[in-house]
Amino acid sequence: MALNLFARKTIEPPAAIEAASLRSDRFRLERETDWQRLEAIVEALEKNRPRRISDDDLLDLPVLYRKAASSLAVARETSLDAATLAYLESLVRRAWFQVYGPRTGLFAWLRGFLGGGWSASVRDLWLDICIALAVMVAGTVVGWLLVARDSEWYYRLMPGGLAGERQPGASVETLAATLEGTEDAEGLTTFAAYLFSNNSGVCILAFALGFCFGVPTLLLLVYNMAAIGAILWLFDDAGLTWEFAAWLAVHGTTEVFAILLSGAAGLHIGRAMAFPGNRSIMAAASASGKRAAQVMAGCILMLVVAGLLEGYARQLVASAEGRATIGGVMLVLWLAYFILMPRPRTHGREDQA
């Protein structure tokens, strides 16, 4: 009896392995035809050769994918051989990208984005843009009035690194010298990169603060525009209003526009969260966030343009007329794009929050 028990213990493991192997082979043989068919379709799609796929195979692609996914689940539960499991995992992963993965590449997305997707999203935020614009104008007026009443407010509103020689009490010659350009372009690339980094930080912060129901976004817009109002008063008091306005317009029509749109995007999310309607707060934030994120992607592009204009055009163009022309042309181009660009057919209008 002892010998028989020992013999069974030594014989059962090989028998179990053989049974598992047979079960794995049977499982593969029953389904291998569908797997190979799915693999051939996926390979043709991966090689961008859809014409090699028959209409029947193309129509059966979702069905074949679901069958392969089901086979993978069974293989995992029954602990089939490692080779079959690895093959199915790779096949299902590749097929998933063909069935559910993105259909457009980077250039196709960029073409749709610039071809109307971005402008359509901006137009969808018209109410938030109006609110942000009113707040920015109010911030500029507040900054002007505060400094006009007490010049000490200038130092509270203007960051020390940006003020430089532009301070109350400076002579007209000193202030005028700060507006002069330069014929030497050396170092302007670094300067443009710095400006882009600084301005993009402001825009991203204005957008991110929108998740706090938009209140911090409004406060940030007021603070930033109050600084512009303060420096406007400084140059107006020195009789250099036109020169400063032209100096600012070169990049300001693009940069301030980007700040306006980023603030509106943040406000759009905050407004949706504060007034979600019949949706939950998270659902409202998700729906508004998709539209606002597309607007923000365009704002980064605008800031790249603003950085180049500020780092090169403003420094290399010395005349006020030339600077004003550049700023005016840029403003007209942006407005024409956002207002006149037709909405693409694939751009779905989401419910306004």
d(CA 317, CA 339): 29
d(CA 74, CA 106): 37
d(CA 56, CA 133): 56
pLDDT value at residue 200: 77
CA distances from 103 to 98, 107, 303, 349, 352 (A): 8, 12, 29, 20, 27
pLDDT value at residue 350: 42
d(CA 179, CA 182): 10
In which residue are the tokens 């939950």 written? 280
pLDDT in tens, the chain (353 residues): 444 444 444 444 555 555 556 566 777 778 888 888 899 888 888 887 877 888 888 888 888 888 888 888 887 777 667 777 888 888 888 888 777 766 566 677 788 888 888 999 999 999 999 999 999 999 999 999 999 999 899 988 887 656 667 888 888 998 888 888 665 545 455 555 655 676 778 888 888 888 888 899 999 999 989 989 999 999 999 999 999 999 989 988 999 999 999 999 999 999 988 888 888 888 888 888 888 999 999 998 998 898 888 878 888 888 889 999 999 999 999 999 999 998 876 555 444 44
CA angle, 180 as apex, 177 and 183 as ends, to 5°? 135
Count of H-run helices and E-run strands, the chain: 15, 0
In which residue are the tokens 């825009």 written? 203
d(CA 206, CA 229): 19
d(CA 117, CA 57): 34
CA angle, 133 as apex, 131 and 138 as ends, to 5°? 95
SS3 content of the chain, % helix, strand, coil (to 5): 80, 0, 20
In which region does residue 126 sit, left (phi positive, over 0), alpha (psi from -120 to 50) or beta (all else)? Answer: alpha
| 30, 33, 36, 40 alpha-carbon torsion, rounded to 10° | -160
Nearest to 179 by CA among 198, 199, 164: 164
pLDDT value at residue 6: 40
d(CA 65, CA 58): 11
pLDDT value at residue 352: 42
What are the extents of the domains in the chain?
A: 13-99, 106-340
Encoding tokens for residue 227?
Answer: 């600084």
